[in-house]
Structure 1
Amino acid sequence: MSILLPLYVYPQGGAWEPLYSAAKAHPDVDFTVIVNPCSGPCIASLPDKYYLDEIPKLRTFENIRPLGYVATSYASKNLSAVTAEINTYANWPLLTNNTKMKVDGIFFDETPSTYSSDKYQYLKTASQLVRNSTKFRDRFVVHNPGNITAILAQKDVLQNSYMNLSDITVVFEEAFDKWLDKNTMNALQSDTGVRRSKLAVILHSIPNISKKVLDFVVEQVEETADWLFLTDVKEKDKYYHSFSTMFADLVDSVDGS
């Protein structure tokens, strides 16, 4: 089991140290982390000095894979703008003269959940731009529609979704209490034939729970997905802008799973 971490924490004053400490203490846990300096790559300029200092440090850990953040606005954003953002990430090493500024792929946020041929072609074009570029080390693609539980329940999910375009799809990104809903659980734990290694679950607003209960939640998520992230931050639009008090315990639970 591995961690998919939205690393939207501003990297000033050692703010990323919890990640470095966790990666060092748990070398068998893989971290795929999403860097997001300007709700994207800072299209007109390089990121500020704090990002330029910290992003290369991610490359010093063999178990950390950095991805660049690109939002598609549910495939309504102009594809040329998406292409420009992908190319900006790809060119970071050249523009900074630092090979450690290379990211390994792209995290496409706000991707559509309902299938259409036009949106499929849109995402295929964007995803192939990553897949075909030697400037991304792993050419890794993640899609985040946020919630496709209804689609997962369909037997032809791979034919009528965008899941064959990505390495990982975030099938559920919601508050913890919605995870507990019976319909959600039934859909996510149904036998769809989709490999767990292609699925991720992100839960925020986790209540104050013991380490034993956290272990149980991690085991429960593992029945659906091989990638997860949990946080007890409850403030809207702030879920991923800090390391929560449970982060170290989360990594320990994932390592133990």
Structure 2
Amino acid sequence: MSILLPLYVYPQAGAWNPLYIAAKAHPDVEFTVVVNPCSGPCNGSLPDATYLSEIPKLRTFENIRTLGYVATNYTTKDLSQVLSEIDTYANWPKTANNTKLKVDGIFFDETPSEFVREKYEYLKVASQKVKNGTAFRDRFVVHNPGLLPKTLLTTPTPFQTSYLNLTDITVLFEETFTKWLDATTFDSLRSHKIKRDKLAVILHSIPNLSNTVLDFVVEQVEDSADWLFLTDISQKDEYYHSFSPIFQDVVEAVDRG
């Protein structure tokens, strides 16, 4: 398994150290990290000096992939704005004259779950902007609809009527731990026909669990997806803005798994 980390933590001195410590201690665990300076790349051409100083440190770890955050507002955002934000990330190294600011792809947040042809064409253009050319090292694309519909999870041909063929990873489920445990949700997430290495699960509001139970949770998530993120932070809109006390335990559980 691997970690998909929404790194929305402002990088003041030492703030990203939990990630650096985990990446160094667990070289066999792959981290795909989403940087999000201003709910996107910021209105100007570059983020502030603190980000410019910290993002290059991510490049020093072979097991960290870095993605830039772009929201599509479920494809209601003007496509030209989405493409412009992609270009902004692509131009960071040239604008700052620092090749270590190069990101490896784009994390598209707030993407649709139900298939609509017009929305597919919108996301196809955005994804091809990342996939074509050399602006992004891995040309890596992630979609986060937050939840995939049950009809998609049960169909034997999930790639024919979905956005899955546009992505390297799609977030299968992003919700509270309690909702993940609900029998209807839990069972449907485990019965899909999609390759697990194409999927991620993000759970917040995790209760206080022993390491043994946490290992079990990681194993159960792995039945649905090869990528995960777990946090015990439960305050709305703060789930990904600080490192959870259980972050190191989660990484250790993934490494053990």
TM range (shorter): over 0.9
Give 3-state SS (helix, strand or coil) of 2:76's partner.
Answer: coil
Aligned-pair CA distance for 1:78: 0.2
Q: Which runs of 5+ in 1 are unaligned?
A: none
Q: How does 1:174-253 map onto structure 2 within 5 Å? A: 174-192=175-193, 194-253=194-253
Aligned-pair CA distance for 1:4: 0.1
Mark the CA change 1:146 to 1:191 in structure 2 (over 3 Å): closer, same or farther.
closer
Q: How many residues align?
A: 256
Whichever residue aligns with residue 207 of structure 1, its letter is P
Give 3-state SS (helix, strand or coil) of 1:70's partner.
Answer: strand
Q: How does 1:96-175 map onto structure 2 within 5 Å? A: 96-150=96-150, 151-175=152-176
CA distance in 1, matches of 2:192, 2:115: 20
Contact 1:149 1:187 in 2 (8 A): no
Contact 1:31 1:64 in 2 (8 A): yes
TM-score w.r.t. the length of structure 2 is 0.98
Whichever residue aligns with residue 247 of structure 2, its letter is F
Which residue matches 2:86? 86
Contact 2:114 2:149 in 1 (8 A): no
Q: Does 1:40 align with 2:40?
A: yes
CA distance in 2, matches of 1:165, 1:70: 15
Aligned-pair CA distance for 1:149: 4.3
Q: How does 1:22-61 map onto structure 2 within 5 Å? A: 22-61=22-61
Q: Which 4+ residue blocks in structure 1 deviate beyond 3 angstroms?
A: none
Give 3-state SS (helix, strand or coil) of 2:89's partner.
Answer: helix
Whichever residue aligns with residue 72 of structure 2, its letter is T
Aligned-pair CA distance for 1:45: 3.4
Q: Percent identity?
A: 69
Whichever residue aligns with residue 165 of structure 1, its letter is L
Q: Which runs of 5+ in 2 are unaligned?
A: none
Give 3-state SS (helix, strand or coil) of 1:173's partner.
Answer: strand
Mark the CA change 1:149 to 1:256 in structure 2 (over 3 Å): closer, same or farther.
farther
CA distance in 1, matches of 2:25, 2:166: 33
C-alpha RMSD over aligned residues: 0.8
CA distance in 2, matches of 1:187, 1:25: 35
Which residue matches 2:16? 16
Whichever residue aligns with residue 248 of structure 1, its letter is Q
CA distance in 2, matches of 1:183, 1:75: 28
Which residue matches 2:64? 64
CA distance in 2, matches of 1:123, 1:64: 25
